[in-house]
Structure 1
Amino acid sequence: MTPVRTLLEIPELRLRLRTGAGLLDREVSRIYGTELPDPSRYLSAGELVLTGLLWWRGPGDAEPFVAALSAAGSAALAASGADSGGIPDELVTACARHRIPLLEVPFDLSFAVVTERVVLALAAERDEVSGARKRLRSAAAEHDSLPALLRHGAGELGVPCWVVSGTGRVVAGSGPELDQPVPLARRFLAGDGRVAVPGSYTLLPAGGRALVPWLLVVGDPHAGSSALAEELAGLVELDRARTEQVRRVADRVAAPLLRGLGGATLTENELSNGLSTAGLPTDAPLRVLLARTAGTRLSVELLTELLAAYPGRCLVGEIGSDACALVESRGWPEGWAADMAAALSTVESALPAGRVLIGAGGPGTAAGLRGATQEARHALGMAERGPGRIAVVSGEQVGAHRLLLAGAPDELRSSLRARILGPLLDYDRAHHGDLVHTVRVFLECSGSPAAAAKALHVHVNTLRYRIARAGELLGLDLTDFPTQVDVYLALRSAGS
């Protein structure tokens, strides 16, 4: 283990001590990143807790966060205020009160660098480093892939290992297919961060700074106290931080393209060039996904996680305050909406408060990509109006008439309603009638008098009389299909 003061002496980190000068001899056993307002269930004694303060919204937020660190026996807190305008004074005060050393991370320093340097410092300070741990660190230093790292770890531990995300997705593994990863993820999220599954596995946190946690599954229920298993979990965190840093850099090319989809002026040729630069096909259909949660960063991370196992090329970025993904339509699964909702429900307990909404549009080529984006936005609106904390809606569920009407200006929809339905609306107002409602039910029953009469609880002859009377007032034949379409659109233009 490494004293906190040693971390302050690492020149590359440029850490600044804000409080806790008399506590620098505390030993750091590992590093854990979190943005949860209450991280207590994932904390362990001796950890250096790393945070970007995304959980801090205003006065009163610091006290419960720091109290959780104190109760868990955390060694120190390292915080960056890049997104919040600096370290809040109340966080400094809370750390002093709870005797938690507070280290300020420079705003221009990547958390991936901090994690890597701390992990290496922890490794270098251990008194007795076994050959197995040296070999693991060597594999990580050589930037082996995660599956290769797990194979190294499994070989040293003598048991298979897997990495599973909080949604239940198996990220990588060294052995046979993992049995029931979703229940394991749920058990991990409901536990204290380290869970022994009797007769089966040990679950260790390996999430790094990400909001969607990862866990290392070791095929030995007694591996929780193994220094080598802890080492492997730390290296998995490091690998994830590196990979996400690379992905964020790669996805920056999406920013101009997504701004174009969000309303900026781009020609079809510029959209095609943007797709080509991003590695997406210009002549094959793409789907557009929009996600809205408590924060844009969380939305981006959730979309990235949900699309991680998808075989096609995906590009994830932001449109305004929503996350946006462009996805190759090739191989798109039929039950994607149910699959996404199930994955989100698995990780729901680990997410900040608020709803999780996803809408999808398309598929469409470059020429129709803006339309697919509008379709996704209307699907997102439908998800927002629906019940439940988690809602996933596709454009197909919205209905073509709603999409067409949603794209029409308010003045046009009002004019359409007044021109087609005016006489009927006037009649109902003057006679306190309900012919407008009768016509709508009739059309929603596919023009069937028997079905409409049953729905309205009237005799079929009464229904026929009312429809005939409505037709006279409108000067239209309500049994004619094109006329029915016009009238129905007029009815839906104002939500009638």
Structure 2
Amino acid sequence: MSITLNQLCSQAETKYQLRLVAGRDGLDHLVRWVHMVEDRDVPLFLHGHELVFTTGIGQKGNGWLLDFVKNLQKAQAAGLVVNIGPYIDFIPTPVITYCQENRFPLFTLPWEVRIIDISYVFCRRIIAAEENELTMAQAFRRILEGQDKRDSQAVFDRAGLPEEGNYTLLQLGLFDDQGQALELELAGQALDQIYQPLARARYPTTVFPLEQRLLAVRRNLSKNELRQLLQQLEAVRARLPQGFYLHIGVSDPGAGRSAWPRAYDQAGSALQVALMRQQFYSIYCDCGVYSLLFAIHDPEILRQFYSRTLGPLLDFDHNNHTDYLQTLRSYLEHHGSVQETALSSHVHRNTINNKMKAIKEILHTELTDEDRMNYLLAFHIANMESQRKAVQISDSGPF
């Protein structure tokens, strides 16, 4: 669902005399569907992001409108269209003021215009927007799979994403507190909230679901605009329902649509790094050694490196119920400082010295600079593989 109220109502002012009375700042609200509501008590069947029409039939006067609008906003409706006529002859000033102050779009529609005509057009546009999302996802998947690009190119041209330009891709995922990916179909309001900052983009933005993530394709995105977008999304993240955690991976800019497959992989890798580091977002250029490791698409290469490097220590721990693997990790993370390693482990430094002596014997190493680099790299591989499995790294090994 990615059509805004502004997009939905374009050209409606001329054709249907639909007039915006207040709440212009809320025209970026997303619209899920259109509903007729005549009961002053907002019904429970509103799920949020509906554009509501009302004629006021069955009501006396227009004094009830203010409470009605307040309840619509609480229900997270996208906006209200009031059919001006025999039941509501004008919009009271307090209603206009409230809508203006609260970014709640309020429209009027002449009685001569049949609601069924305009609602029919709006519903078709909403359905078309949903179908466009599906078409975009299918076209993008064809590009990733290296299939015939001619049909895909036509889809992207119509979407305002020409071949020329620098493109940045963002992968946005919703996860639970254990780092498990949540199905987008079940995200509901959380998903709608995430769409909104993307819909306000200055440059053409295409957002569609792909592989249980949202993919945002942005053209000519500057560093400052990216920073502002991430700030807006972080504000949304803070308002998500309990149990929903948003994480984002951002690719490096790439020239033209031919760079999309690589940018897609980069954004996915950056998203995994954000999860590993328990960060809100990660940009591919800031991923360090992980940008190299994720570029190795054969996992067997990584598994073999890990096995050759840390396998003997992993086996020793398993057979002798020791914690040498964790000790080595802590030692390396503290830059070889026995004192810092002892403090973090809450043991005496002599204990660490004895453990490190045993570790060197098991691994047949003097822990030269090159050795330390290899062991750190192996631990990074373990982190990466564990994140791919969405489990926590432990001394039992990631593979």
TM-score, normalised relative to structure 1: 0.48
Determine whether 1:231 maps to 2:108.
yes
Shift of residue 416 of structure 1? Answer: 1.7
Shift of residue 415 of structure 1? Answer: 1.8
Number of the residue aligned with 1:488 = 376
Shift of residue 142 of structure 1? Answer: 2.5
Shift of residue 362 of structure 1? Answer: 0.4
Between the aligned residues of both structures, percent identity stands at: 20
Determine whether 1:214 maps to 2:83.
no
Distance in 2, Cα, partners of 1:373 & 1:385:
19
> Secondary structure, in 3 states, of the residue corresponding to 1:221?
helix
The one-letter code matched in structure 1 to 2:26 is: V
Deviations 1:283-333 (A, max 9, x none): 514122334554189587555423111112111223244432212351333
Asked if structure 1 preserves the Cα contact closer than 8 Å seen for 2:270 and 2:287, the reply is no
Distance in 1, Cα, partners of 2:212 & 2:12:
39
Number of the residue aligned with 1:86 = none
Query: For residues 139 and 472 of structure 1, do their structure 2 counterparts lie closer, same or farther at Cα, with a shift above 3 Å needed?
Result: closer
Which of the residues 214, 217, 236 maps onto 1:343? 236
Asked if structure 2 preserves the Cα contact closer than 8 Å seen for 1:286 and 1:364, the reply is yes
Shift of residue 334 of structure 1? Answer: 1.7
Asked if structure 2 preserves the Cα contact closer than 8 Å seen for 1:337 and 1:394, the reply is no
Query: For residues 267 and 286 of structure 1, do their structure 2 counterparts lie closer, same or farther at Cα, with a shift above 3 Å needed?
Result: farther
Distance in 1, Cα, partners of 2:122 & 2:344:
57
Structure 1 segment 292-303 matched on structure 2, within 5 A = 293-295=183-185, 303=194
Determine whether 1:164 maps to 2:26.
yes
> Secondary structure, in 3 states, of the residue corresponding to 2:199?
coil
The one-letter code matched in structure 2 to 1:370 is: P
Number of the residue aligned with 2:169 = 287
Higher relative contact order (CA 8 A, sep 6+): 2
Q: Which runs of 5+ in 1 are unaligned?
A: 1-34, 36-111, 117-135, 155-159, 172-188
Asked if structure 2 preserves the Cα contact closer than 8 Å seen for 1:453 and 1:463, the reply is yes
Asked if structure 1 preserves the Cα contact closer than 8 Å seen for 2:251 and 2:270, the reply is no
Distance in 2, Cα, partners of 1:460 & 1:222:
71
Query: For residues 268 and 483 of structure 1, do their structure 2 counterparts lie closer, same or farther at Cα, with a shift above 3 Å needed?
Result: farther
Number of the residue aligned with 2:146 = 265
Q: CA RMSD in A?
A: 5.2
Asked if structure 2 preserves the Cα contact closer than 8 Å seen for 1:362 and 1:375, the reply is yes
The one-letter code matched in structure 1 to 2:216 is: A
Number of the residue aligned with 1:474 = 363
Asked if structure 1 preserves the Cα contact closer than 8 Å seen for 2:274 and 2:281, the reply is yes
> Secondary structure, in 3 states, of the residue corresponding to 1:231?
strand
Number of the residue aligned with 2:45 = none
The one-letter code matched in structure 2 to 1:140 is: E
Q: How many residue pairs align between the two structures?
A: 312
The one-letter code matched in structure 2 to 1:265 is: G
Number of the residue aligned with 2:263 = 372
Shift of residue 441 of structure 1? Answer: 0.5
Asked if structure 1 preserves the Cα contact closer than 8 Å seen for 2:171 and 2:271, the reply is no
Structure 1 segment 330-409 matched on structure 2, within 5 A = 330-331=221-222, 332-334=225-227, 336-343=229-236, 346=239, 348=240, 355=244, 357-365=246-254, 366=257, 368-377=259-268, 392-395=280-283, 399-402=287-290, 404-405=292-293, 408-409=297-298
> Secondary structure, in 3 states, of the residue corresponding to 1:305?
helix
Asked if structure 1 preserves the Cα contact closer than 8 Å seen for 2:170 and 2:216, the reply is yes
Shift of residue 240 of structure 1? Answer: 6.4
Number of the residue aligned with 1:184 = none
> Secondary structure, in 3 states, of the residue corresponding to 2:360?
helix
Number of the residue aligned with 2:36 = none
Deviations 1:11-61 (A, max 9, x none): xxxxxxxxxxxxxxxxxxxxxxxx9xxxxxxxxxxxxxxxxxxxxxxxxxx
Which of the residues 386, 398, 412 maps onto 2:301? 412
Shift of residue 447 of structure 1? Answer: 3.2
Distance in 2, Cα, partners of 1:458 & 1:367:
55
Shift of residue 401 of structure 1? Answer: 4.5
Q: Which runs of 5+ in 2 are unaligned?
A: 31-47, 53-63, 82-90, 98-105, 175-182, 383-392, 395-399
Query: For residues 255 and 340 of structure 1, do their structure 2 counterparts lie closer, same or farther at Cα, with a shift above 3 Å needed?
Result: same
TM-score, normalised relative to structure 2: 0.57
Structure 1 segment 145-224 matched on structure 2, within 5 A = 149-150=19-20, 154=21, 160-162=22-24, 164=26, 196=66, 203=70, 205=72, 213-215=77-79, 220-222=93-95
Query: For residues 276 and 319 of structure 1, do their structure 2 counterparts lie closer, same or farther at Cα, with a shift above 3 Å needed?
Result: same
Asked if structure 2 preserves the Cα contact closer than 8 Å seen for 1:276 and 1:282, the reply is no
Shift of residue 478 of structure 1? Answer: 2.2
